[in-house]
Structure 1
């Protein structure tokens, strides 16, 4: 993956060791630089100075000064390890808008952010800001999961060679190339996952008409998806790639394989839709993200419609 500048979103109220370790590891492997970004805001502070503008501005400065002092300590520790890193703190909200504006200003190639987690269920829980970033960001998004990484990783690409789930043509090649690059750089082994449905969404009403020939139909669908996957793999990855070709919905298959194979990171695509469509949760990425117990790298494609 060609990355020169990485924007790392830091929340001082959260434990940040994992995201900093991930970012530093990626920066070293890609020879990239980091910017640690804090979008500071305090609702309590805003509500304490209703009629004192000067007092509010002074409180803002003091609050930001504290965050900068904390961030400078983090930056110093990373610099002592040989990581090229800077920091930026500003008073801003909402978080997703502040992050996107900062990424555009610094010409970031990647945004890294830590998702919320539920310790009992051991899975990521995406916030409102996360969903806005997924819908609106035009650069890759890396969501960091809470689990530790070893020296050798398992990196997976979730592909859809027949575009059954509205992926743009060419996105699968990008997913495979990115996952392959990460597997080489971090390093790790490469997995490719393709889940297909024997009865595509939207044709259930016609099920009675094909039920008599269902097994023949099912085999035809399987063969078509297998041919598409083989063609994609032939031009993009080596024979040593571990391939998972499973019947079922992505919402069920992807989390299952991630858990069974101890996948450390999955690379998947999401669509940037124009107009009102972008307001709705509808693509595969948005339906499965909360259920994946690993880091998630999301690449975007633009819907030509």
Structure 2
């Protein structure tokens, strides 16, 4: 059964190895579907050539686009010869993330695959990387590819927030586990539920003398274990395939992913934007930089893209 029929693959012309494309081809061989190799190009100097007419500037832009299309076509010769169905789409746009999201909205892609790398923490706090913009605004799932292999019989982590009683978190948990199990079926892998929960707030223990941290911790862990057991039962998952640990997700998930040698972590992202995103970011974004495996980010069912036209 095809899980993703229409996949957008983001290329990086600065790299010799296109790991996103390699991953997309691997996925297409496993489950079929059509790929579109996508590239956003832009050169500000072409816009500043005031001595040329609008038509001449457009002609120059089209020449750049054509050159990039030829480069991609040469790169795709081998996989196309191997029977992989791949289209080419090159656009002129000064904001790569926006070009990607607009392409998804226009052509109804059901998955975006993009290579990623570690972001400098300080720069990431000041200048939001393209990856983060895509995570926040892309309406379809996004697979961010690193260098970890996809071996058969591996492990896929579904990162859940089972202890939350908020409806949007509960629904997102369902989507995350569903996507993780679909991927696990394709890759002949095992699905593991991972749920992190916060430890005792230090300030409360200090400021409220009658506060009992041991009782609080006991209540907290039992609450999360009960919630994870209930969620796991819905998907017929055994006890050895779910994990409940104290700590922040950005600490717990990378550690467990390393222990399990996971090939992928599936995580839900609400898509926070604006000032709140600049100040505190999203859990998915904090986790990604600390993982050595692929990350599949899933949006809620009712997510509305901020670039969506009414």
TM-score range (shorter-chain normalised) is 0.7 to 0.9
Paired residue secondary structure (2:76): helix
Q: Which moved more, 1:240-249 or 1:254-263?
A: 240-249
SS at match of 1:298: strand
| Aligned residue runs from structure 1 range 2-81, under 5 A | 2-47=3-48, 49-53=49-53, 55-81=56-82
Over 3 Å counting, the alpha-carbon distance change for 1:241 and 1:78 in structure 2 is: farther
Q: CA deviation at 1:183?
A: 0.7
Distance 2:30 2:37 in 1: 18
Q: Give the match for residue 223 of structure 1.
A: 222
Q: Which has the higher strand share?
A: 1
Deviation at 1:300, TM superposition (A): 0.9
Write the distance in 2 (CA, Å) between the matches of 1:290 and 1:252: 11
Question: Match for residue 169 of structure 1?
Answer: 170
Question: Is the partner of 2:212 in helix, strand or coil?
Answer: helix
Counting only pairs closer than 5 Å after superposition, residues 200-215 of structure 1 correspond to structure 2 as 204-205=203-204, 207-209=206-208, 213-215=212-214
Q: Residue 155 of structure 2 corresponds to which residue in structure 1?
A: 154
Kindly report which structure 2 residues correspond to 1:93-242, keeping only aligned pairs within 5 A, or say none. Answer: 93-117=94-118, 128-163=129-164, 168-199=169-200, 204-205=203-204, 207-209=206-208, 213-239=212-238, 242=241
CA change 1:181–1:90 in 2 (3 A) is: same
- For residue 291 of structure 1, report the CA deviation from its aligned partner: 1.4
Partner of 1:251: 250
Retained in 2: the 8 A contact 1:117–1:146?
Answer: no
Could you tell me how far 1:63 is from its partner in structure 2? 1.5
User: TM-score, structure 1 length as denominator?
Assistant: 0.86
Gaps of at least 5 residues in structure 1 are 120-125
Question: 8 Å contact 1:189–1:241 — kept in the other structure?
Answer: no
The 1-side partners of 2:16 and 2:167 are apart by 37
Q: Secondary structure at the match of 1:225?
A: helix
Aligned position for 2:308: none
- Alpha carbons 2:205, 2:212 under 8 Å: kept: no
2:205/2:213 contact within 8 Å kept: no
**Which is further off, 238-247 or 20-29?**
238-247
1:25 touches 1:186 (CA, 8 Å); kept in 2? no
Instruction: Confirm or deny: 8 A CA contact 2:271 2:282 kept in the other structure.
Output: no
**How far does the alpha carbon of each residue in 1:119-174 deviate from its partner, in whole angstroms, 9 at most, with x for none?**
9xxxxxx9522221111111111111133333443211101112279952211111
Q: TM-score, normalised by structure 2?
A: 0.84
Q: Is the 8 A contact 2:40 2:90 kept in 1?
A: yes
Count of aligned residue pairs for this structure pair: 295
Partner residue in 2 for 1:286: 285
Q: CA deviation at 1:276?
A: 6.2
Q: How far apart in 1 are the matches of 2:57 and 2:24?
A: 35
